[in-house]
Structure 1
């Protein structure tokens, strides 16, 4: 046993430091096994893929070996919320447990930090649409004199107002870097400096991929070099990587550029009014493209009608005119120089998008959201790029999540990320699913494609809600199904109905916990990363198996690409992705050893189709019933137990 192995085993033992820090601490075999495996791959400088079921204690299982190894480590997780939790709660506990000083740093993407230069320019311009935005800007200004981090997560609520955010934050496009007059006071640069000096840096997957994409493009780096990389919530990595190794042009980038051209013309080139006219042309061309795209669009670029292509070409022409107008003015100031560079970059990206949207294993597609749009080129396979990045960075790698395997096999995940040489480890949840959970699959439901499915499913959900006395998550695979359910339940007088979109996610979760008998309806963002413990959440209902939409342009292109390779896209891609997605939703039910609950699945394909076995075999071991009387009995027993 190596010195690191021994130290990790001691830390997690019944008489180790954790036992002193956590009242009622008892060693968990699953946690000890994972920690030993992490220590070993750090020693051997190898790669480990580990699925750790809910309740394993995976965070400490990788933190303790990382801290005890004394090597520079980057820890990346799926969301900023989890990142904050890891840094502010779990990491301090792990530092105490190893009983040694460790320099740590929290680093987020630049959009999470106040940009003093952008804030000052906005204050200087005095141009805001309404009094509320002006008041919000003054609140942020006052906070800027008090904050040490500049992290907008700590700022007044006004800082998150969508119309204000681009005026107080920078992007990679508009940041002046070392040419900024406020560079010495920059919160982002200070956070990056601390990260460069730290032994352990906590980031998120978006920042990790952005850093790799930056290095690949030859534009420097954000993150320090590290010996050990630990990627939590690793099931999110394939899609995150596809976004960052692709290309995107958004209406926000274009409108921001137009606004900044106008602002910098006033500051640096007051005698060149033509710049403001060019900015107005760019805004009109951007708005015209949004108008012809229509609402609620998510489709392949090659399928769109000629007017869309003409509007995109007109946008490219407006950008080219802007570049020509900016070129002679750029030397007059850093702001104008930045605008010229950004216009060039956007023009090149737009031309690349229009020239070859469906070549070289990538797909061009367009998406509209609200008043905005995105033009995207997405690679269909990131395995080679991910394998290359892993070879270039770090010596030891740990990728972990509660949901990586399909029917006990890791092949799908390993293939998507190019992890041919990785060790794998699967650790079941220590929670008592056979006695604490019940899987209810209603017997009378039609298949989800049947026109009567929605009404029949909601009738069954109503029956279960009466038995559970609320206390439920209803998770849906589409916003349309969610809204149908919200309207249906509201008409039946559910007084504690919380619907995604009615308030920020954290606010909805706080209300759900406080109410104790609420019903929360959510789509994708509530399927994972949500932790509600105790009887307030005693039932999770999922309407249908989460297969990707057949209309999704990336899925369509990936399926065609796989067929060309002679592979079955359903068996090798759609099915395993849906299994992992379902497991994420199911994971909301039991979050603590004392939790009890019912999982209702409304999709009869689980028992009527052969592939349903893969879903059932991938779920935690819990009894299955098709009888609503057993559901009522479960909740009656739960009620008598808790009284």
Structure 2
């Protein structure tokens, strides 16, 4: 019986016997031993494991062998499913460890039979959703788990899902007529009985921030928390330790009040005018906040007469709606729930628009047809530390991108992890021989009006040499759109552009085509895995500094300045370094991969801080000569793959 992680990962260990092609990696063994020690001592560990280290096995093995109750959290539901359905069974079977495991997601991932029946009976499904409804209904008749990821043929962003799933706000709890069949309840029971539970960061932080989402009662019983893709934690903590209110939430309250009242036998004409006017005033407020989509400090609009007038009208609507719901609440649990939701929204609206809270950033965000009001903590470290200390367990943070250069100071300061041990492991991939870093000469400054045009012109000969097979990653949607227009009719390769299809579909087509160009921003910088010959070139247009006019960034910069710090070097550069490392990580995903990373930004050499970025990259041989890059792509890459 294997009892330690190093033996499990040895060349004659159970993983080698169970997995074809498995080879011991010193970095993986080193990380597994560090995780093992942290679990044993209930310590904090920050571990950066370069691409190819095999960090998933490096923490799964000691977790399964520890005999402790472990919660593993990862960045997205997709990664959560992959970890639970693929990696965890592989390791558990290889080790022969018969422990109970469970997968737990937030409420919105589980079917609610009551809301499905209510939506159908009230005719709330419009004609365009009837096909999706039929698929959901057929699946609902036979599902055991109720996890909507099981449904095929219905888009993730279909409008059917909010109608057939619940939230903390609209869940009826034990008063629900379908409570005994509740899918969320079943998932929570499974998780309570399991020794290892796989969750995602949004679910974990919702409960840490006391915004109960499904497993708050599990936290006190955990001996260890392992947080994968931990570079995402500071931003996710910022979301969940803040407050927000959207125009969609205002509309949902009104619609749910209508539905619950009619379901309890009420008559349409008996409902207050506030139900209709709250939605109208929310639409008017959206227009009053400006026509364009933007993010801006609340102070820039707070005293505008039209904004003040509409906020007063919405407050009046909510007051009228709350008074009416209090009167009719005894008719049913759903109406009582709506009454409590309206009371909560009134408090949040006041908090977000009136009071001036030190240490909080108040801002708003507008989209074409909606708005959201936000209050964001200036510094999440004290809040995260306070919540974490409620659970004196082992806390392990791991990702391929946590360090800046060779240090973790930036990450430690953002989450208040001063007592954590740190470990930095380089990738086992042979970057020195299998890759090349190309920084083209004579590029204009990124602020130049013609910069994206220059990026495309510099990229064209490299794209020809690579035979397509490239990711082009941009720091803004505007640059992405402009580059797509410039490349149209200039290349013979298939052009795949973010927004033209769902991300998963674009990636599948990219892999199948074998010579495509994929243009992306945002979500394509991380969590994307393309191995083999389909990808030989990654082009990045600029160093990924956050927009300086972002209200949260602007407030943090001002705070650092007030404390006599250097916000650019202390915050903006480190944050951009971690984002860049994520983008760079798309190029080499396997020991047999090779290719070129093209960084177009001239500041890598023209500015002193460029050295910080270069020191944080894998050891790729640099060149500024186009001919050398073309030769590498035409000779070295094909030869290596043979």
Query: The TM-score by the shorter chain falls in which range?
Result: over 0.9
304-313 vs 422-431, greater mean Cα deviation: 304-313
Distance 1:43 1:583, change over 3 A: same
Deviation at 1:179, TM superposition (A): 1.3
**Which of residues 10, 20, 25 in structure 2 aligns to 1:23?**
20
The residue aligned with 1:319 is 318
Residues 166, 256 of structure 1: 8 Å contact kept: no
1:234 aligns with 2:233: no
1:173 aligns with 2:173: no
Residues 220, 391 of structure 2: 8 Å contact kept: no
Distance 1:25 1:82, change over 3 A: same
Residues 225, 394 of structure 1: 8 Å contact kept: no
SS at match of 1:594: coil
The residue aligned with 1:310 is 309
CA distance in 1, matches of 2:219, 2:562: 38
CA distance in 1, matches of 2:641, 2:27: 29
Deviation at 1:642, TM superposition (A): 4.3
The residue aligned with 2:72 is 75
Distance 1:531 1:276, change over 3 A: farther
CA distance in 2, matches of 1:30, 1:113: 38
The residue aligned with 2:629 is 631
CA distance in 1, matches of 2:525, 2:343: 40
The residue aligned with 1:355 is 354
Residues 444, 451 of structure 2: 8 Å contact kept: yes
Residues 192, 223 of structure 1: 8 Å contact kept: no
Could you give the per-residue CA deviations for residues 369-419 of structure 1, whole angstroms, max 9, x where no partner exists? 342221110001111111122211141111000000001000000011110
Deviation at 1:450, TM superposition (A): 1.3
Residues 533, 592 of structure 1: 8 Å contact kept: yes
199-208 vs 369-378, greater mean Cα deviation: 369-378
The residue aligned with 1:109 is 106
Residues 278, 325 of structure 1: 8 Å contact kept: no
Could you give the per-residue CA deviations for residues 330-351 of structure 1, whole angstroms, max 9, x where no partner exists? 1111111111111111111111
Residues 262, 276 of structure 1: 8 Å contact kept: no
The residue aligned with 1:146 is 142
**Which of residues 253, 260, 263 in structure 1 aligns to 2:259?**
263
454-463 vs 149-158, greater mean Cα deviation: 149-158
1:10 aligns with 2:7: yes
362-371 vs 582-591, greater mean Cα deviation: 362-371
365-374 vs 334-343, greater mean Cα deviation: 365-374
Residues 269, 329 of structure 1: 8 Å contact kept: no
Deviation at 1:464, TM superposition (A): 1.1
Residues 159, 165 of structure 1: 8 Å contact kept: no
The residue aligned with 1:84 is 81
The residue aligned with 2:209 is 213
TM (norm. structure 1) is: 0.96
CA distance in 2, matches of 1:611, 1:10: 43
1:190 aligns with 2:189: no
1:281 aligns with 2:277: yes
Deviation at 1:69, TM superposition (A): 0.4
Aligned residue-pair number: 637
CA distance in 1, matches of 2:211, 2:502: 35
Residues 593, 641 of structure 2: 8 Å contact kept: no
Aligned CA RMSD, in angstroms, stands at: 1.7
Could you give the per-residue CA deviations for residues 499-539 of structure 1, whole angstroms, max 9, x where no partner exists? 11111111111110001001001111000111110110110
SS at match of 1:408: coil
The residue aligned with 2:60 is 63
TM (norm. structure 2) is: 0.96
**Which of residues 32, 35, 48 in structure 2 aligns to 1:35?**
32
CA distance in 2, matches of 1:272, 1:484: 51
CA distance in 2, matches of 1:315, 1:551: 29
231-240 vs 364-373, greater mean Cα deviation: 364-373
222-231 vs 322-331, greater mean Cα deviation: 222-231
Deviation at 1:271, TM superposition (A): 4.1
The residue aligned with 2:552 is 554
**Which of residues 382, 385, 389 in structure 1 aligns to 2:383?**
385
